[in-house]
């Protein structure tokens, strides 16, 4: 039986996407928590950040560059958090936000061109 191997770049990109999702969930929980609620939101946020650490280890295990990983994570976070703010907290999506999202996609494209 043949061993299935995956392209390390695909593993890194998928890991960064999941890092962004878990970080977004954690930030949403922290923003939702108002101090009077149960500590469930804090526990979920801590669990999500633990998953972020695990996924970062996976990126480094597959020889991901810290700078590339951090850039992709930051750009994906900008996109995800702007979207979460609009959908869950009725924050406004401005033309400046659109420019930021387009620049973030451009940064992700250029860092992964090699």
This prediction has a pTM of 0.77
Tell whether the model's pLDDT for residue 36 goes beyond 70: no
pLDDT at 47: 97
Tell me the per-residue pLDDT of 67-109, one tens digit each, with 9 for 90 and over.
889 988 988 888 887 887 888 878 888 898 889 889 888 988 8
Tell whether the model's pLDDT for residue 19 goes beyond 90: yes
| pLDDT band at residue 50 using 50, 70 and 90 as cut-offs | very high
> What's the chain's average pLDDT?
86
Q: Hey, what are 17's tokens? A: 């996407």
Domain boundaries, the chain: 8-111
Distance between CA atoms of 26 and 1, rounded to whole angstroms?
Answer: 40
Separate counts of helices (H) and strands (E) for the chain: 4, 0
Distance between CA atoms of 41 and 29, rounded to whole angstroms?
Answer: 5
């Amino acid at each position: 039986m043949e061993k299935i191997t995956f392209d390390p770049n695909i593993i890194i990109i998928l890991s960064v996407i999941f890092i962004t999702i878990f970080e977004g969930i954690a930030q949403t929980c922290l923003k939702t928590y108002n101090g009077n609620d149960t500590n469930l939101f804090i526990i979920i946020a801590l669990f999500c950040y633990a998953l972020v650490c695990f996924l970062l280890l996976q990126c480094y295990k597959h020889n991901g560059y810290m700078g590339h990983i951090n850039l992709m994570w930051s750009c994906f976070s900008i996109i995800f958090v702007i979207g979460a703010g609009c959908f869950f907290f009725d924050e406004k999506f401005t033309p400046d936000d659109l420019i930021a999202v387009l620049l973030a996609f451009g940064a992700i494209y250029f860092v992964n061109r090699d």
